């Protein structure tokens, strides 16, 4: 993955250096939109997993049991 990321980064740098000035903003904006499109579902999944783990860890425990586990 790192090798692919480096290749994409190098290619994007070449494209930006060779682009006309008015196209650079369009390319940067498009690149950010693509990155956000990738990151959004990943962050949502991470949050859902974290919330699910927290809920499963607390399921079936009353306050006294939680205190005992925390203050062991």
pLDDT digits (tens, 9 = 90+) for 19-35: 998 899 999 999 999 99
Q: How far apart, in whole angstroms, are the C-alpha atoms of residue 60 and residue 1?
A: 40
Residue 49 reports pLDDT greater than 80: no
Domain spans of the chain, in order of start: 2-70
- Predicted model pTM: 0.56
24, exposed or middle or buried, with CB in 10 Å at 0-12, 13-18, 19+? middle
Confidence at residue 61, expressed as pLDDT on a 0 to 100 scale: 58
Q: For residue 59, what pLDDT is reported?
A: 61
């Amino acid at each position: 993955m790192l090798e692919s990321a480096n290749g994409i980064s190098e290619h994007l740098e070449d494209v930006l250096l060779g682009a006309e000035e008015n196209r650079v903003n369009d390319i940067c904006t498009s690149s950010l939109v693509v990155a956000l499109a990738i990151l959004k579902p990943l962050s949502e999944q991470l949050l859902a997993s974290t919330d699910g783990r927290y809920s499963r860890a607390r399921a079936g425990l009353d306050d006294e049991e939680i205190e005992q586990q925390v203050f062991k």
